[in-house]
Structure 1
Amino acid sequence: MAARKTFAPALFAILSLGSSLGGCLSVGPDYVGPDPMLPSKSFSGPPEKAVVTAALTPEGSSTSADSLWWQNFRDPGLTSLVQRVAASNLDLRTASTRMEQSRYERGVAAAAALPTGNGNASYSRQLYSKYGLPSLGNALVPAGQSFDIPPFSIYQPTFDASWELDIWGHVRRQIEAADARLAAAEEERRSMLISVMAEVARDYIQLRGVQAQISILNDNIASSEDILKLTQSRAAGGMTTGLDVENAAAQVESEKAQMPSLRDQETQLINALSLLLDQPPGSLRGELAKAKPIPPTPPHVPLGIPSELARRRPDIRSAEAQLHAATANIGVAVAEFYPQIKLNGSVGVAALDMKNLWKPSALQYNFGPAISVPIFDGGRLKSTLYLREAQQQEAAVSYHKTVLNAWHEVVNTLSSYEKEQQRRARLKAQVDHARQVLVLARSRYNNGVTDFITVLDAQRTLLGGQQQYAQSTTNVSTDLVALYKALGGGWEGVFPEKPASAQPESGDVATLASAIKQAMQ
C-alpha cells in the first residue's frame, strides 16, 4: 500500500492548491445596482404640484401598497377566485417550469467549479502477428530460434479526473450570471402572478357590471311593458291613437333586443374566468351566474412611497436581474483572454493476470497541470467581449425603459381612477334627474297634459343613464385593479422573496479535498 500512501498526499496537495488559487480574483466589472431615478415623494412630480384625490392615501406617506389588495373590495367571490388562480392557472405553471429550468441551468454552471471524474474499466485479449513486432525480436535471438509472443489478456480499471482552476473567475462569473438569470425567472413568475390576479379581478368585476346592466334592462323592460299596457288601455278608450301604442311596443322590443348581447358578454366572461382557473367552459356558471353587486372600491387606497416601486414591481426587478447577468457575462468574456489551467490525473491498476490486479505493485498513475494560452483566434475573443458589452448596454436601456413605463403606468391609472370617479358622480346625478323626469312625464301623460313622445324620450334617457352609470361603476373598480397592478402588489403572499442561491466558494472545494484525503488513508 506504499504507492497508495504516496499518491493520496499528492492528490490532496493538488486539490488544496486549486482551492486556494480558485478564489484569487474575478476579472471583468463588478455589478453595481442602478439608480431607478424614481421620485421620493410623489408620482406626479414635486409635492406642491401633486394632485391627490380624497380617495387616495397621500403618496409620500409611510403606508405601503396593500399586498392583499383584492380583499379591499370585500367580495367573497372575488377573494375566492383570486386565491384559487395561483394554484391552477396554466400561464403560472409555465412560468414556474421556466423558473425550474433556470434553476437547473444554474446547477450546470455551478458544476464547472468542481472536479470531474470518470471511472473506466477495460479488458482485452491480444495476439501479435509473427510478422509484426515479434519479427523485430527474431533478429536478436540465435539462429534457429524464434521470438514469439503468445496470446495474453490485460485487465485495466482506471479513474480519470480533471479540474479547471478558476483563477480568473471564469466559472464564478458564469455562476453569477446563472444566479441572475434564475432571479429574473423568479421575478417573471411573480409578474405573471400579478397579471393573472388582475385579469381575474377585472373579468369578475366586468361580469358583475354586465349582470347589473341585465338587471337594469329587465327593470326597464318591465316598466316599458307597463307603459305599453297603459297606452293600449288608453287607445281602447279612445284617449290616444294607435301611434302611441306602436311607439310603446317598439320601445319594448328595442330594449329586449339588447338582452342577447348582454347575455353573450356574461357567458364569455364566465368562460374567461374558467380558462384562467384551468376549468372547461361553463364550469363556473353555477358559482357566478347569480347576479351580485359590482364590488365597491374602498374609501382609501394606500399608494406607498414612489421610490419603492422598483422593489415592489417584479418586472423592474427582473430587468435589473437581466442587467446583472449581462454584466457578469462581460467578466466571462474577459476571462477568456487569460490562460486556462487544468489539473489532470489518472489512477488505476493493470495486470496480465486478474489475481495480480489488486496487488500494490499493480498500481499506476499520472497527474500534472496543463495550460492553454490563447494566441490567435481571428478576433473571436474581442468580438465576443464587444458583444457582451453591447448586450449590457441594451439591458441597461431596457431597465430604464421598464422603470419609466412603470412610472407612467402608475400616473396614468391614477388619473383614470380619479377622473372616472368624477364621471360616475355626474352620471349618478343624471340618473336621479332622469328618473324624476320619467315620473313627471308619465304623470302628465296620464293626465293628458303632454304627448307620448315625451314619455318615450324620458324612458330612453333614464335607461341610457342607468347603463352608463353601471358601466362607470364597473370602470372605477377595474381602474382600481389596474392601479393595484401598476403598484406591483399581490405576489408577496404567494411567492415570497427567497434568498439568492449561494455561489460555490473555494471552501467547498477544500471540503472535497479533505474528504478525498480521508478516503485515501
Structure 2
Amino acid sequence: MRLSFRALITGLTIAATGCAVGPDYHKPTPWTPPAWQPSTRADQAPGHSVPVAVAADVAWWDQFHDPELSALERRVATDNLDVRVATARLAESRAQLRMAGAERFPGLSASGSYSRSQYSTKELQRAISRVGGELGGENGQFIRDSSGSAKIPQLDMWADSIDASWEVDLWGRVRRQYEVARADMAASEEEQRAVLIGRMAELARDYMTLRGAQQQLRITHDDITVAGQLLTLAQSRYRSGLVSDLDVESARSQLAADQAQVAPLEQSIAEQINALSLLMGAPPHALDAELATPSAIPPVPPRVPVGIPSELARRRPDIREAEDKLHAATADVGEAVAEFYPKITIDASFGFQSLSFRDLGFWNAKAWNVGPSITLPIFQGGRLRGQLELKKSAQKEAAISYQQTVLGAWRDVDNALTAYREEQLRLDGLKREADADAHSLELARSQYRSGLVTYISVLDAQRHALSSHLSVTQSTANVSGNLVALYNALGGGWEIAMPDLEAMQVAKATH
C-alpha cells in the first residue's frame, strides 16, 4: 500500500502543477449606447408617468396597486407549467454538473467474486509428454508414460478487492469539462429566470386587456341605456307628430347596433380569463369567480424607475444566458485542445485472493497492484482536428449571438420607452376628443328635444361619443400594457435574487 499511496500523492502533485490548455474565458465588457438616456420630465406633458434613471423595482407589479394582479403574479412562480418545465431543466443541469464534477476525483469501487474453474486436462497431458520427450532417457520415458494419468482438479477462486482509478488532469481536460457543465447550469438558471419574467409580463398584459374589455363592456351598456332613452324620446315625439317614423327606426337601429357589440366584448372577456387560467396551469373557467367581477384598469405610477444603462446587462436574463453560453463554448474549445495530449490514468487495487474461502481473510492472501497508464492519440483520421474546428466555430457563433442579444435588448428597451411615451400622448388627445364628443352629444340631445336639429345629428354625436370613449379605455389599457412591456424589456422581476421555485412547487404539491 506504500507504493500506491506514493503514486497517488505524486499524481496529485502533477495535477496541481498542470495547466489547462486552450483559451481562458474573459467576461465581455457590457456594451451601452454612447448617448442613451430615458425620457426626462422636460419632454413629457404634465401629468404623464415619467421614466427615471434610478434603481428599478424588483416587484414591479406592485407599482399598479392592484391586489388581484399582485396575487396572480405571486402564483405564477408555482402554478405556471412553463416555469415548472424550466425548473425541471435546471434540476437536470445541476445533475449534469454533479456528474462532471465527479470526474475530478478518484473513483473507488469494491468488488467480490467467486469462480469454480476446470482447466483442460488434455493440454496438461500433452505438455507433460512433450517435456518427457525433450528430456529423453529413462526419466523422460517415465514422464511420457505417466502423462496419461495427469489430471487438473476443479479450482475454487475467492477474491475481494477495492479498486481505484483516477485521471491525472495534466492538461485540464477534466477541468474544462467541469467548466462547461458549470456554465451550462448557469445558462439554465438564466433560462428559468427568463421564462418566469416572461410569463409574469404576459400575465400582466392579459390582465390589463381583461380589465380594459370589462370597462368597454360597461361603457357599451351605458350607451345602450342612452340609446334606449333616445328611442323612447323619438317614439314620444313621433306620437306627438313632431317627427316622422324615420327617427324612431334610426333610434331603434342604433340601439340594436349597440346591443350587438356586447357579444364580442363578452367573448373577449371570456378568452382573457381563459388565457389567465392557462398561465396559472388551470383549466378554462377556473378563474371565473375570481376575475369575472369588473374592475378598473390598474393605473400607472407617476414615476417609473428604469435603472441606469450600465445595469441592463446585469438585469436581462437573456444577456446573462448568452454570456454563459459563450463561457461554455470557450471552455469547450479548451477541452477539444486537451484531447490532442496524452491521457494519464492511475489505477490501483487492493484485496485478497484464495483458493479456499476460509483462507480469504489471512494477510498472506493479499493481492494488490498500482501503476499509471498513458494513452496517446497517434492517428485519429482527422477526428480530433475536426472536433477542434467545430468547437472554435461554435465559440464564434456564441460570441456573435451574445452581441446580437445585447443589441436586441437595447432595441427592446428603446422601443418600449417610445411606445410608453407616445401612447400617453395619444391618450391625451383621445381624452380631449372624448370630452368634446360627450359635450356634443348633450347639445344634440338638448337641441333635438327642442326641435332644433334632426335625429341624424343625435345619431352621429352618439356614435362619435361611444367610439371615443371606447378608444380612451383601450388606450388606457395600452398605457398600462406598455409599462408592463417596458418592465419586461428591462428584465424586471427577480433579476437579482430568484425565489426557490423547486421548494415552492414541492410545498404547493404537498398541500
Give the alignment's TM-score, normalised by structure 2.
Answer: 0.91
The aligned counterpart of 1:185 is: 188
Matches within 5 A, 1:413-432: 413-432=416-435
**Where does the alignment leave 5 or more consecutive residues of structure 1 unmatched?**
1-6, 499-521
The aligned counterpart of 1:475 is: 478
Distance in 2 (CA, whole Å) between partners of 1:152 and 1:323 is 60
The aligned counterpart of 1:114 is: 105
| Distance verdict in 2 for CA 1:467–1:254, change over 3 Å | same
- Give 3-state SS (helix, strand or coil) of 1:344's partner: strand
Give the alignment's TM-score, normalised by structure 1.
Answer: 0.90
Q: 1:119 touches 1:160 (CA, 8 Å); kept in 2?
A: yes
One-letter identity of the residue aligned with 1:131 = K
Cα distance, 1:492 vs structure 2: 4.1
Alignment partner of 2:10 out of 17, 24, 43? 17
| Distance verdict in 2 for CA 1:194–1:252, change over 3 Å | same
Cα distance, 1:351 vs structure 2: 1.2
Asked if 1:73 is matched to 2:76, the reply is: no
- Give 3-state SS (helix, strand or coil) of 2:157's partner: strand
Asked if 1:32 is matched to 2:26, the reply is: yes
Compute the RMSD of aligned alpha carbons: 1.9
Distance in 2 (CA, whole Å) between partners of 1:275 and 1:55 is 31
Q: 2:20 touches 2:176 (CA, 8 Å); kept in 1?
A: yes
| Higher mean C-alpha deviation, range 324-333 or range 126-135 | 126-135
Cα distance, 1:39 vs structure 2: 3.2
Distance in 2 (CA, whole Å) between partners of 1:130 and 1:281 is 80
Q: Deviations over 1:177-228 (max 9, x none)?
A: 1100000000000011110110111111110000000000000000000000
Asked if 1:456 is matched to 2:459, the reply is: yes
| Distance verdict in 2 for CA 1:111–1:359, change over 3 Å | same
Distance in 1 (CA, whole Å) between partners of 2:496 and 2:382 is 50
Alignment partner of 1:56 out of 46, 50, 72? 50
Distance in 2 (CA, whole Å) between partners of 1:405 and 1:497 is 29
Matches within 5 A, 1:249-328: 249-328=252-331
Distance in 2 (CA, whole Å) between partners of 1:424 and 1:82 is 27
Distance in 2 (CA, whole Å) between partners of 1:496 and 1:18 is 42
- Give 3-state SS (helix, strand or coil) of 1:128's partner: coil
| Distance verdict in 2 for CA 1:422–1:19, change over 3 Å | same
Matches within 5 A, 1:312-391: 312-391=315-394
One-letter identity of the residue aligned with 2:493 = G
Cα distance, 1:383 vs structure 2: 1.1
The alignment covers a number of residue pairs equal to 485
- Give 3-state SS (helix, strand or coil) of 1:131's partner: helix
| Distance verdict in 2 for CA 1:437–1:293, change over 3 Å | same
Distance in 2 (CA, whole Å) between partners of 1:285 and 1:109 is 48
The aligned counterpart of 1:514 is: none
Cα distance, 1:313 vs structure 2: 0.5
Distance in 2 (CA, whole Å) between partners of 1:259 and 1:336 is 70
One-letter identity of the residue aligned with 1:438 = L
Alignment partner of 1:95 out of 86, 89, 105? 86
Q: Deviations over 1:381-407 (max 9, x none)?
A: 111111111100000000001000000
- Give 3-state SS (helix, strand or coil) of 1:301's partner: strand
Matches within 5 A, 1:77-156: 77-138=68-129, 139-140=131-132, 142=142, 145=146, 146-156=149-159
One-letter identity of the residue aligned with 1:165 = V
One-letter identity of the residue aligned with 1:92 = V
- Give 3-state SS (helix, strand or coil) of 1:72's partner: helix
Q: 1:41 touches 1:305 (CA, 8 Å); kept in 2?
A: no
Distance in 2 (CA, whole Å) between partners of 1:275 and 1:480 is 23
Identity %: 46
Distance in 1 (CA, whole Å) between partners of 2:78 and 2:497 is 9
Distance in 2 (CA, whole Å) between partners of 1:86 and 1:210 is 26
Q: 1:158 touches 1:348 (CA, 8 Å); kept in 2?
A: yes
Distance in 2 (CA, whole Å) between partners of 1:373 and 1:132 is 39
Cα distance, 1:466 vs structure 2: 0.3
Asked if 1:171 is matched to 2:174, the reply is: yes
Distance in 2 (CA, whole Å) between partners of 1:318 and 1:96 is 15
Cα distance, 1:51 vs structure 2: 5.9
Distance in 2 (CA, whole Å) between partners of 1:496 and 1:152 is 64
Q: 2:317 touches 2:495 (CA, 8 Å); kept in 1?
A: no
